[in-house]
Amino acid sequence: MAELSSSVLSVQGIGPKKAALLKKMNIHTLADILNTYPRDYEDRTRILPVAETQEGDKISIYATVGTAPTVHYVRKGMEITRLTAFDSTGVMHIIYFNNKYAAAQLREGTEYLFYGRVQRQGKQKVMVSPVAERYVGEGAPGRIVPVYPLTAGLCQRDMARLAETALQCPDLPEDPLPAPLRQAYALPDYAQAIRFIHAPHSIAEVQVARRRMVFEELFLLCCGLQRLKEKRREETGCPFPQTDLRPFWQALAFAPTGAQRRAVADCIRDARTSRPMNRLVQGDVGSGKTVVAAALCALAAQNGYQAAIMAPTEILAAQHYHSLCGIFDKLGLKTVLLTGSMGAKAKREALQAIASGQADIVAGTHALIQKNVEFARLGAVVADEQHRFGVAQRASLRSKGQAPHTLVMSATPIPRTLALILYGDLDISIIDELPPGRTPVATYAVGERMRKRIYAFMEKQIAAGGQVYVVCPLVEEGDTRLKSVEEHAAALQKALPNRHIGILHGKMKPAEKDAVMGLFSAGKLDVLAATTVIEVGVNVPNACLMVVEDADRFGLSQLHQLRGRVGRGRRQSFCIFFGADKGQAARDRLKILVSTNDGFEIARADLTQRGPGDFFGKRQHGLPGIKLANLSEDLQLMQNACNEAENLLQKDPTLAGYPVLRERVERLFSTDENEVFS
C-alpha cells in the first residue's frame, strides 16, 4: 500500500512524463498532493429543471438526449457538434467545439447529468461543452468536484486520482491542533478535514474544512512568531553608544523634516541599548523614509559596525546605492552595491569588501541573503518596502550579524489586526509629514479623446526641462485588447518625434534595465515608458509628469504608489490617468485618486471597492505557511488563533507537552523553508 512519502509514480496512470510536470508544481510525493488544495469546486449537486435555469448559472440538468449529435464544419480547424436534450420542463441546446468524441458518447434517448454554464442564444437556452455523466442510480446524483491548479499536460482526472490515493494512505499526518482547542471552536480533526477538502460531499463540508485549516495556519504562525519574539527578547545585540549625527545631517543635501528627526531619535534611543532594535518606519510614498535608513547606517558606522539595506528590486537597490554614496562619500565611508545581476568580477570585489569590513554600508537585493555573503561585523539591517519580503527573508538578513538592529520601512498601510500579527513585536515610527516645498501632484482622469492634448502637454513639460513617466499595465500574451509598452512607446515617438524615449519592462536583462534607468536619472531620456517595474521606490526628482495608460487595470493603492514617483522635486507635478472612458465604475475609482493624496484614505477605499482578496494578494504578506487564510477577511479567526497561541505558550513556553505542534512550528521558520518563501 502506498504511503505518503511514496513518489507520485506509484499511482496508476502517472508515468515519468506526468511526474516531471508535477515536479514543476513542486509535487513529488503523495504528501505534497494532500497539501495542494483545490483552487475551486464545481458543485454538480445543484440540479435544476431546464425551465428554471437562468442565463449565467453553472448548474446540472438531468436530461434526455433528444436529437442525435450533428457535426458542422465551420472553417478549417473548427467544427461544432450540436444536439438537444430535454426534461419534462423544457429543451436545452448543447454545443461542443472541436470535440466530436465527447458528443459521440451520447446516445439518443438516454438520460445524462449535464453540468455546465447556461447561456442564451436568441430564444434558445444553450450549454457549451458541458460535462456529461450517466447517472446510474447509486447515491445522490451529481458530485462536488474539486478543481485543482494544473499545468499544461496534466488534467483534473490525474489530480483526482492522486488525491484519492493519498487519502487512503495509512500514515496521514498527526493533528497539530490540541483536541480541547478543536472542541472549543468546533473544528474537525485533520484527517476529517483533509477528506472534506479533497473529497467533499457538500459545499458545507468544504467550508468547515477550510475554517479548520485557516485556524491551523494562523495558530501555527502565531505560535511561531510568538516564539521568535521570545527568543529575540533574550538576545544581546550591538549597542551603539556613539550617537553624534551632526556630520551626517551636514552631509545631507537638505534639512530633515520634524517627522524624520523624530523617527531617527526613536532609532537612536533603541540602538543605544544592548537589546536589538526592531522598528517599523511607516510613511506615505515620498515622505522621505530613506533618510531614516541612512541615519541608522551612519550610527552603525560611527560605532564600528557595518549596515545593510535590502531592497526588493535591482532598480531600487541601485538607486539607494547612489543616494547613499552621495552622503557617505563626504563622510569618508565606503558604500558598496550587491545585486544578483552584477558581473562575476564586480560581485567578487563587493563580497570581498563586505567580508573584510572595508565596506561600511551595503545596498543590495535578495542577493544579500545568499549563503556566500559574509559580513565582518554587521550591526544594522534595513528592509525597504518590507511588504515585499517574507518574515523568513528578513530573519535571514539578520542572521548575517550578531542580533543586529533592524529597521523595516513600508508605505503600505495595513489593517490593525493584521498589524498586530505582523508587527506585534515591532515598535513603530510614523512619518506623517512630507518634505517642505512639495506642491501636491495635480491629478486628472481622462478618456481617449484627450490623447492629442495629453501628448501636447507632455511636449510642453519636456520643453520646460521636465521628464515624463508613461506606465502601462502588463499585457498577457495573446491579449489584444491592450497595447504593450512597446506599442505605446512607438505611438509616443510618433507624437514626440524629437524627444528621447526609453523603454523599461520586467523581461529585460538587469543590466539593460540599469542602463535605461541610469539614462533617465541622468536626464538623458525625456520619457520613460515602463511597466510597473517602477512602482516601488524609484526616485527621479526631475520627473514631473506621470501618465498611466489603462489606469482602470490597476488597484487604487498601486496607482497611488505610482503617482508617488512624481512630485518629488520642487516642480509642480502632474499625474494623468487614462481610462476614465471605460465606464462608470472605472470613473468612480479614478475619481478617488483625483480627490485625495492621502495614502491611508486611498487604501481604505481600495479595500472596500476591490475586496480584500486582491488587496492582500497571496504573496504580498510574505508569511510562511499561509495558503488559505485571507488576512483581511478571516480577522475574527485570526484574533482567536492568536489569543489561543498566546495562552498555550504561557502555560507551556517550549511546547514540550505538544510534540506534533512543536515540530510543525519549528518547521515553519526553519531555514530550509526559507527557499520556499523567497
Q: Answer yes or no whether residue 612 interacts with ligand ADP by CB under 6 A.
A: no
Which option in Mg ion, ligand ADP, none does residue 567 bind, with CB closer than 5 to 8 A by kind? none
Cell 490540541: give the residue.
Answer: 178
The residue (of 291 and 380) whose beta carbon lies closer to ligand ADP is 291
Q: Answer yes or no whether residue 599 interacts with ligand ADP by CB under 6 A.
A: no
Which option in ligand ADP, Mg ion, none does residue 624 bind, with CB closer than 5 to 8 A by kind? none
Q: Is the dihedral of CA 320, 256, 328, 269 positive or negative?
A: negative
Number of residues that bind ligand ADP (CB under 6 A): 18
Selected from 116, 130, 283, 579, the binder of ligand ADP by CB under 6 A is 283
Selected from 285, 301, 468, 548, the binder of ligand ADP by CB under 6 A is 285
Closest among 557, 579, 538 to 454, alpha carbons compared: 579
Closest among 527, 530, 526 to 512, alpha carbons compared: 530
The residue (of 96 and 248) whose beta carbon lies closer to ligand ADP is 248
Question: At its nearest, how many Å lie between Mg ion and the CB of residue 412?
Answer: 12
The residue (of 390 and 599) whose beta carbon lies closer to ligand ADP is 599
Which option in Mg ion, ligand ADP, none does residue 530 bind, with CB closer than 5 to 8 A by kind? none
Closest among 382, 233, 366 to 300, alpha carbons compared: 382
Beta bridge partners of 90: 87
How far, in Å, CA of 526 to CA of 507, rounded? 22
Q: Answer yes or no whether residue 312 interacts with ligand ADP by CB under 6 A.
A: no
- In this structure, the strands spanning 144-147 and 40-43 are antiparallel
Q: Answer yes or no whether residue 557 interacts with ligand ADP by CB under 6 A.
A: no
Which option in ligand ADP, Mg ion, none does residue 257 bind, with CB closer than 5 to 8 A by kind? ligand ADP
Selected from 5, 71, 254, 654, the binder of ligand ADP by CB under 6 A is 254
Q: Answer yes or no whether residue 320 interacts with ligand ADP by CB under 6 A.
A: no
**How is residue 168 annotated by DSSP?**
T
The residue (of 232 and 438) whose beta carbon lies closer to ligand ADP is 438
Q: Answer yes or no whether residue 291 interacts with ligand ADP by CB under 6 A.
A: yes
Q: Answer yes or no whether residue 568 interacts with ligand ADP by CB under 6 A.
A: yes
Q: Answer yes or no whether residue 288 interacts with ligand ADP by CB under 6 A.
A: yes
Name the strand (E) or helix (H) holding 520: helix 510-521
Selected from 10, 539, 609, 630, the binder of ligand ADP by CB under 6 A is 539
The residue (of 116 and 286) whose beta carbon lies closer to Mg ion is 286
Alpha-helical (H) ranges within 364-506 are 391-398, 416-423, 451-463, 485-495
**Where does this chain touch ligand ADP (CB under 6 A) — which range of 310-318, 502-510, 533-541, 592-600?**
533-541
Closest among 376, 324, 316 to 351, alpha carbons compared: 376
Q: Answer yes or no whether residue 563 interacts with ligand ADP by CB under 6 A.
A: no
Question: At its nearest, how many Å lie between ligand ADP and the CB of residue 418?
Answer: 21
Residues 6+ apart with CB under 8 A from 298: 245, 247, 248, 327, 328, 331, 333
Selected from 289, 394, 398, 505, the binder of ligand ADP by CB under 6 A is 289
Which option in ligand ADP, Mg ion, none does residue 36 bind, with CB closer than 5 to 8 A by kind? none
Backbone Cα Rg of the chain: 29
- The residue of the chain with the least Cβ separation from Mg ion equals 537
Question: At its nearest, how many Å lie between Mg ion and the CB of residue 595?
Answer: 25
Query: How many C-alpha atoms does 23 have within 13 Å on its Cβ side?
Result: 9
| E-only strand ranges, 102-225 | 111-121, 124-128, 131-134, 144-147
Q: Are 422 and 249 in contact (CB under 8 A)?
A: no
DSSP assignment string, 214-275:
HHHHHHHHHHHHHHHHHHHHH-----------HHHHHHSSSPPPHHHHHHHHHHHHHHHSSS
Question: At its nearest, how many Å lie between ligand ADP and the CB of residue 430?
Answer: 12
Count Cβ atoms within 10 A of the Cβ of residue 138 and give its class: 0-12 exposed, 13-18 middle, 19 or more buried.
exposed
Which option in Mg ion, ligand ADP, none does residue 283 bind, with CB closer than 5 to 8 A by kind? ligand ADP
Q: Answer yes or no whether residue 600 interacts with ligand ADP by CB under 6 A.
A: no
Q: Answer yes or no whether residue 318 interacts with ligand ADP by CB under 6 A.
A: no
The residue (of 213 and 383) whose beta carbon lies closer to Mg ion is 383
Q: Are 143 and 110 in contact (CB under 8 A)?
A: no
Name the strand (E) or helix (H) holding 161: helix 156-167
The residue (of 248 and 578) whose beta carbon lies closer to ligand ADP is 248
Q: Is the dihedral of CA 104, 110, 114, 120 positive or negative?
A: positive
How far, in Å, CA of 215 to CA of 225, rounded? 15
Q: Answer yes or no whether residue 287 interacts with ligand ADP by CB under 6 A.
A: yes
Q: Answer yes or no whether residue 388 interacts with ligand ADP by CB under 6 A.
A: no
The residue (of 347 and 568) whose beta carbon lies closer to Mg ion is 568
Q: Answer yes or no whether residue 290 interacts with ligand ADP by CB under 6 A.
A: yes
Question: At its nearest, how many Å lie between Mg ion and the CB of residue 619?
Answer: 20
The residue (of 169 and 540) whose beta carbon lies closer to Mg ion is 540
Selected from 357, 523, 541, 555, the binder of ligand ADP by CB under 6 A is 541
- By CB under 6 A, the residues from 9 to 48 that bind ligand ADP are none
- By CB under 6 A, the residues from 416 to 435 that bind ligand ADP are 435
Selected from 69, 256, 390, 466, the binder of ligand ADP by CB under 6 A is 256
Closest among 63, 57, 69, 119 to 99, alpha carbons compared: 69
- Per CB under 5 A, residues contacting Mg ion are 537
Count Cβ atoms within 10 A of the Cβ of residue 24 and give its class: 0-12 exposed, 13-18 middle, 19 or more buried.
exposed
How far, in Å, CA of 319 to CA of 302, rounded? 23
How far, in Å, CA of 385 to CA of 637, rounded? 27
Question: At its nearest, how many Å lie between ligand ADP and the CB of residue 555?
Answer: 18
Closest among 419, 343, 18, 660 to 10, alpha carbons compared: 18
Q: Which residues bind ligand ADP (CB under 6 A)?
A: 254, 256-257, 260, 283, 285-291, 411, 435, 537, 539, 541, 568
